[in-house]
């Protein structure tokens, strides 16, 4: 017997007024039950290059104002950029802690408090450095009629994952916003060990 459950499903959309402007929020779900959202702003033609941000959930940075990482700053800047550009998409993926989950991220933070870096902490807990998976992005962008993108990221793995899904990256825009004294070491590790393209001058 074959399983006919769709891998991904588009559920519903609604208005989402924000501090930056009025977006629409679109709900998606994976067959596993994992939920994700997309925020869209403005309109576009199917062949147009649309600015997008793919953002992995970071409860501490995105919602609790943490300065241990740059997530909250990047999220805010991405939404501002989209509004300034007049159109764009945020894919907000619920893969907290680079895919290890919130409570494991707190364990990883505890290990970082004792001297490990962000990669060493993941490995110490028995996880790969980055467990994220982007396959739903192809479905989300297809649903939202986006084929060509201007991708806001410093992470080449995200760009590669999108290309593998058949999305055309017309341009990559760095989003090196949110450097703090507390996250400098974390960003340096991401640059040295995870291949992030963060401007090295900023990390001196």
Ligand X SMILES: Nc1nc2c(ncn2[C@@H]2O[C@H](COP(=O)(O)OP(=O)(O)OP(=O)(O)O)[C@@H](O)[C@H]2O)c(=O)[nH]1
Candidates 39, 89, 91, 108: give the one binding ligand X (CB under 6 A). 108
Residue 59 C-beta: closest distance to Zn ion, Å = 8
Nearer to ligand X, 12 or 159 (CB): 159
Task: Detail the residues annotated as belonging to a binding site for Zn(2+).
Answer: 58, 69, 71
Q: Is the dihedral of CA 195, 139, 83, 18 positive or negative?
A: negative
162 binds ligand X, rule: CB under 6 A: no
Number of helical H runs and strand E runs in the chain: 6, 7
Looking at 24, 68, 77, 132, which residue is catalytic? 132
Nearer to ligand X, 168 or 182 (CB): 182
Taking the CB of residue 156, how many other CB atoms lie within 10 A of it? 13
By CB under 5 A, name the binding residues for Zn ion: 58, 61, 69, 71
105 binds, options Zn ion, ligand X, none, Cβ within 5 to 8 A by partner type: ligand X
Residue 160 CA to residue 169 CA, distance in Å, equals 10
Provide CB contacts within 8 A for 44, sequence distance 6+. 50, 87, 145, 146
- Positions in 50-89 near ligand X (CB under 6 A): 55-58, 69, 71, 74
Q: How many amino acids of this chain bind ligand X (CB under 6 A)?
A: 22
105 binds ligand X, rule: CB under 6 A: yes
Contact criterion met (CB below 8 Å) for 77 and 174: no
The yes-or-no answer on residue 113 being catalytic is no
CA–CA distance from 190 to each of 2, 90, 114, 144, 146 (Å)? 42, 22, 18, 31, 29
CA–CA distance from 139 to each of 75, 116, 125, 147, 181 (Å)? 22, 37, 32, 11, 38
Candidates 8, 44, 50, 122: give the one binding ligand X (CB under 6 A). 122
Contacts with ligand X, residue ranges (CB under 6 A): 55-58, 69, 71, 74, 95-98, 100, 105, 108, 112, 118, 122, 153-155, 158, 196
Residues labelled catalytic: 130, 132
């Amino acid at each position: 017997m074959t399983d006919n459950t769709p891998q991904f499903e588009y559920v519903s959309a609604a208005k989402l007024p924000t501090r930056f402007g009025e977006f629409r929020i679109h709900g998606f779900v994976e067959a596993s039950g994992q939920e994700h959202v997309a925020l869209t702003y403005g309109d576009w033609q199917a062949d147009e290059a649309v600015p997008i941000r793919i953002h992995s959930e970071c409860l501490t940075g995105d919602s609790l104002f943490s300065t241990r990482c740059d997530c909250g700053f990047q999220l805010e800047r991405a939404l501002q950029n989209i509004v300034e550009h007049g159109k764009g998409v945020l894919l907000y993926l619920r893969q907290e802690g680079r895919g290890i989950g919130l409570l494991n991220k707190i364990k990883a933070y505890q290990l970082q408090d004792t001297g490990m870096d962000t990669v060493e902490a993941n490995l110490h807990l028995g996880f790969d450095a980055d467990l994220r998976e982007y396959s739903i992005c192809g479905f989300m962008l297809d649903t939202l009629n986006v084929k060509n993108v201007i991708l806001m990221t410093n992470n080449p793995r995200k760009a590669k994952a999108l290309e593998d899904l058949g999305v055309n990256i017309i341009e990559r825009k760095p989003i090196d916003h949110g450097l703090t004294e507390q996250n400098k070491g974390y960003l340096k590790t991401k640059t040295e060990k995870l291949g992030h393209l963060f401007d090295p001058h900023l990390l001196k």
